[in-house]
Amino acid sequence: MTENILPAEGNAPTDEIVVETTAVDAGLLARLALIEDRPLVERAAAFAELYAELQRTLEGHDLDSAAKAGLPTATPAENFGENRV
């Protein structure tokens, strides 16, 4: 899906920006819309859950890429000593 995003009236530049939307993007946008419709307390919890899920996904991709490249695969928390006693 392709969306055309135009700047607000009076804002430069006037060039049209084209954004490619993937199925993953569409799913995330739908999920965000559902979260926005919830009461404040539920919304905060849902955003926290989504944040944690996205963080795990990103860290997992980082670990997968590092392993394929033959690099050490410590998590960011381990790299910065957050798990030290």
Q: What is the pLDDT of residue 39?
A: 97
> What mean pLDDT comes out for the span 67-85?
58
Cβ atoms of 9 and 28 within 8 Å: the answer is: no
State whether 52 and 81 are in the same domain.
yes
pLDDT tens digits, 17-72: 666 778 778 889 999 999 999 999 999 999 999 999 989 888 887 766 767 777 66
State whether 66 and 82 are in the same domain.
yes
In whole angstroms, give the CA distance from residue 40 to residue 38: 6
Is the model more confident about 24 or about 10? Answer: 24
Q: What is the pLDDT of residue 74?
A: 59
State whether 80 and 46 are in the same domain.
yes
Q: What is the pLDDT of residue 24?
A: 76
Amino acid at 48: A
State whether 11 and 52 are in the same domain.
no
